[in-house]
Amino acid sequence: MNLGSPDSYEIKDIKRYLKEFLMDERVIDYPYWLRYLIVCGIILRVRPPKTSRAYQKNMVGRRFAADCYYRAFYAKATIIAFRTL
């Protein structure tokens, strides 16, 4: 499962990301109707501002720090893999 990250730390992007992530039945293992009530009725009303502040602390330029780290790691791993061929 690829968790990804929101497009930005704005509330609307955080909500879209959290909804897509949390509505996955592999993340919250409840029937759809109950998962919908929990996610849309509670979590998406409370969590996005807190999550937005946390993501703002982890930004590097316009990218999230984790994205930057994994992109750099992938680039280095690709270079090493081609050198061994």
pLDDT tens string 23-66: 999 999 999 999 999 999 999 999 999 888 887 776 655 555 55
Q: What pLDDT is recorded for position 74?
A: 60
Nearest to residue 72, comparing CAs of 29, 11, 63? 63
Report the C-alpha gap between 83 and 74 in whole angstroms: 14
What is the structure's pLDDT at 3? Answer: 62
pLDDT band at 1 (very low <50, low <70, confident <90, very high): very low
Q: Residue 19's pLDDT is what?
A: 93
Return the biggest CA–CA distance within the chain.
53
Q: How many CB atoms lie within 10 A of CB 50?
A: 10
Least confident piece of the model among 1-10, 13-22, 36-45, 66-75 = 66-75
Length of the chain equals 85
